A and B are shown apart, each in its own frame.
Chain A
Amino acid sequence: MAKLTIADLKKIKEKQHATFALREGGNRAKVTVHMGTCGIAAGARNIMSALMEEIEQSKIEDVITTTSGCAGFCAREPMVTVEILNQPPVKYGDLTQDKIREIFKEHVIGGKPIEKYALVVGSETTY
């Protein structure tokens, strides 16, 4: 490591911010990928990968991703639930990598749910 200046300290802090946002809490949104047996079989793993890529590229730090079990609607897997703070959760079904990227941009970042992909609005929250 080269000799640090005070400006470097701030840069390192910025760079580490994403990691610590995860540990310090205060997240604005949470995306849950349903990973029951049905979800995994239907391709939930690819949905998760695409989502992680989007988050990394967008440099967004106040969104957390988590997994959960089967949402109970196995026919429509892969599914995700998007929860924005102070808004009802939205469940999306029949997802593809392209759809999840679109949902991420429009809903998670933009705040507008995409109705055509949505299965239900206002189901049980986990916040």
Chain B
Amino acid sequence: MEKYRANLLLCAGTGCVATGTPRVRETLKAELEKQGLADEIKIVLTGCNGFCAEGPVMLVYPDEIFYQKLTVEEIPKLVEEHFLKGRPYEKLMFKDAEKKTAIPLMNDIPFFKHQILRVLRNKGMIDPDSLEEYIARDGYLATAKALTEMTTEDIIKVIKDSGLRGRGGAGFPTGLKWKFASKSVADQKYMLCNGDEGDPGAFMDRSVMEADPHSVIEGMIIGAKAIGASKGVIYVRAEYPLAVKRLQLAIDKCLEAGLLGENILDSGFDFNLEIYLGAGAFVCGEETALMRSIEGQRGMPRPRPPFPAHKGLWDKPSVLNNVETLAQIAPIIMEGAEWYRTLGTEKSAGTKVFALTGDIKNVGLVEVPMGIPLRRIIYDIGGGINKKNKKFKAVQLGGPSGGCIPEELLDIPVTYEDINKTGAIVGSGGMVVMDEDTCMVSTAKFFLEFTAEESCGKCTPCRVGTRVMLDMLIDICKGQGKKGDIETLLDLSKDIIATSLCGLGQTAPNPILTTIKYFQNEYESHINDHWCKAGICSNLCSFHINEENCKGCGKCLRGCPSNAIVGEKKKPHRVIQEQCVQCRSCYDACPFGAIEIKPTLKKPAEPVTQDEGVTK
């Protein structure tokens, strides 16, 4: 092996690849060669670093200097300054939001400083395509320990004692799940991995599969030993091509090295693993539907019991664990249950990965101990709202199954129990932040569109009920809401939750329930006053210029697509209401906050009467 004096860990996660890693890598390679540094400095492509907002990003070792927003144009200068002359290149460093000064070291950047990495222990640290690098970070030592030194009871006990709960959303204790399956007697059992991450805005599992595929495989081998399975399947959606490619390469390397297949590490234990591609149906993330899908049938849930631990895939005892759950198994085996419990709370132990997106500065992947307040994730790590002068309004947790949490509840700790109390769920970890310009009725409508579309159709309350609720929300946003709609929505929600078979229907009303719970006044102003105060529902708002605040800069006038704004320079402008199409561009353009949103001036549309069809 050659000796290098520096390693450049260039992020090749999906986000950074999209923002330019391949081009940057080519240029970087060429420049290093040009300066005669190619033998001294090594470029390593890693999985997702997590700080996707600033991509493409690169970490330089041993200096631990973090570079962001790399461009092909800046690379020659970077190579000359830092790698040839040893002067870290400030221009590409992260800048402190207030002081505008550069922060060179990765661990000084607030986004990274507050995180504790267990699941993402190897993110941006290793080349995901290299088995050797995974082994160098204690990889497969836990497999060796579990296969040669531990009984199945030992493994289940340590996982149970650790308090690890399923990270896919429901939070079922992993050790208990394994125990049930291990007790089932059968000629064949299956160890399955759920990589069918379907929540809009969630990308935790994708990043783990891309950055550290071996950690998932290792969790599966150990789980397989615990329950006595000799076959396994990783179910990944086909929309994750990079994750599929890296997992497949990892499986191939393991087969070659005897870490999968027969007689793993001479322990006498056999385990074969394959990947099954899902077509991206949301319902296939539900365990029984996922198993039907692998069997080649239509992905539809079936009633439980029998639970998969007794009758799962091909009617054989099966365990299905989420990607993030599996990635934590190896460290727990190595370090023990007590170590795992050093972070988190009594009932929600360990760490959880969240995908931070929406109106937030630091979009990216963060791992934090469970039990820390939501506010810390959003402000200390996420950096707060990304637009100046905009206030936080709500954070959506748990995707279409989750709910919106308002500002006044931001100090609650992130644990399964506390989040459930708000009406939202921890879910798989999607965290969408919304600022004051968000219309909560439209937000509920967005999630209902998703669940109505993704309902598999098996249960009538879910299939028809979500559609009826969606139509009501569409009407409310159009200005055709009626008195009593809120009560009907609450009623329908209750019925759908009570009478749907699987989690999709049981949780689909959550976005509506939480937005009504915390933002009922918005529903009321939509229905009664024909006023969408955020100015999102174009039928329910009108735009006016406050003459006192207007400086006559003309930004709104230039941006208006329908020439609806008139006014002389440096004098207050005016909106000609007849010409305004409520596109909102003046509101976004005005630097002085002079645009006011008032109730619509249009006459309310006549409610459409219709006798036919189930949806009206």
**Nearest chain B residue, comparing its CB with the CB of A8:** B257
The winner among B1, B135, B138, B258 for most chain A CB atoms within 10 A is B135
Binds A, one of B81-89, B327-335, B434-442: B81-89
Binds A, one of B2-10, B541-549, B583-591: B2-10
Residues 83-127 of A, flagged 1 when their CB comes within 8 A of B and 0 if not, give 000000000000000000000000000000000000000000000
How many angstroms from the CA of A3 to the CA of B140 in the assembled complex?
A: 14
CB-CB under 8 A for A18 and B1, given A6-B265, A9-B135 = yes
A101 to nearest B CB, angstroms? 15
Residues 268-305 of B, flagged 1 when their CB comes within 8 A of A and 0 if not, give 00000000000000000000000000000000000000
Q: Which of A4, A17, A23 contacts B125 (CB 8 A)?
A: A23
Q: Which of B1, B2, B9, B258 contacts A3 (CB 8 A)?
A: B258
Q: Which of A1, A12, A25 contacts B62 (CB 8 A)?
A: A25
CB of B411 closer than 8 Å to a CB of A: no
**Nearest chain A residue, comparing its CB with the CB of B267:** A6
**Nearest chain A residue, comparing its CB with the CB of B87:** A69
Query: In the complex the two chains form, is A22's CB within 8 Å of B7's CB?
Result: yes
Query: In the complex the two chains form, is B84's CB within 8 Å of A67's CB?
Result: yes
CB of B136 closer than 8 Å to a CB of A: yes
Number of interface residues of A (CB under 8 A): 36
Query: In the complex the two chains form, is B136's CB within 8 Å of A35's CB?
Result: no
B595 to nearest A CB, angstroms? 51
Q: Which of B7, B125, B138, B258 contacts A13 (CB 8 A)?
A: B138
Query: In the complex the two chains form, is B132's CB within 8 Å of A22's CB?
Result: no
CB-CB under 8 A for A69 and B62, given A20-B137, A56-B3 = no
How many angstroms from the CA of A93 to the CA of B125 in the assembled complex?
A: 36
How many angstroms from the CA of A119 to the CA of B109 in the assembled complex?
A: 37
**Nearest chain B residue, comparing its CB with the CB of A40:** B84
CB-CB under 8 A for A22 and B6, given A15-B1, A32-B86, A52-B40 = yes
B23 to nearest A CB, angstroms? 25
Residues 123-156 of B, flagged 1 when their CB comes within 8 A of A and 0 if not, give 0010000011101111111001000100000000
How many angstroms from the CA of A3 to the CA of B267 in the assembled complex?
A: 12
Of residues 1 through 47 on chain B, the ones whose CB sits less than 8 Å from some CB of chain A are 1-7, 9, 36, 39-40
Of residues 1 through 51 on chain A, the ones whose CB sits less than 8 Å from some CB of chain B are 1-6, 9, 12-13, 15-20, 22-23, 25, 27, 32-36, 40, 45, 48
Query: In the complex the two chains form, is B7's CB within 8 Å of A1's CB?
Result: no
Q: Which of A1, A40, A52 contacts B257 (CB 8 A)?
A: A1
Chain B residues in 8 Å Cβ range of A6: 144, 148, 265-266
How many angstroms from the CA of A55 to the CA of B2 in the assembled complex?
A: 11
Query: In the complex the two chains form, is B3's CB within 8 Å of A4's CB?
Result: no
B128 to nearest A CB, angstroms? 15
Query: In the complex the two chains form, is A13's CB within 8 Å of B84's CB?
Result: no
How many angstroms from the CA of A69 to the CA of B131 in the assembled complex?
A: 37
How many angstroms from the CA of A64 to the CA of B3 in the assembled complex?
A: 11
Query: In the complex the two chains form, is B64's CB within 8 Å of A35's CB?
Result: no
Chain B residues in 8 Å Cβ range of A9: 135, 139-141, 144, 265
Query: In the complex the two chains form, is B61's CB within 8 Å of A16's CB?
Result: no
Query: In the complex the two chains form, is A35's CB within 8 Å of B257's CB?
Result: no
Query: In the complex the two chains form, is A48's CB within 8 Å of B40's CB?
Result: yes
The winner among B3, B36, B84, B133 for most chain A CB atoms within 10 A is B3
Chain B residues in 8 Å Cβ range of A45: 36
Chain B residues in 8 Å Cβ range of A20: 133, 136-137
How many angstroms from the CA of A16 to the CA of B84 in the assembled complex?
A: 25
Query: In the complex the two chains form, is A27's CB within 8 Å of B62's CB?
Result: yes
CB of B551 closer than 8 Å to a CB of A: no
Apart from the given pairs A4-B140, A66-B6, 12 other A-B contacts in the complex at a CB distance below 8 Å: A1-B131, A4-B265, A5-B266, A6-B148, A9-B265, A13-B135, A16-B135, A22-B4, A33-B86, A55-B3, A67-B86, A69-B87
Chosen A-B contacts, 25 in total, with CB atoms closer than 8 Å, are A1-B131, A5-B266, A6-B265, A6-B266, A9-B139, A9-B144, A12-B136, A13-B135, A15-B132, A16-B135, A16-B136, A18-B1, A20-B133, A22-B4, A22-B7, A22-B62, A23-B9, A23-B125, A25-B62, A27-B62, A35-B85, A40-B84, A65-B5, A66-B86, A69-B86
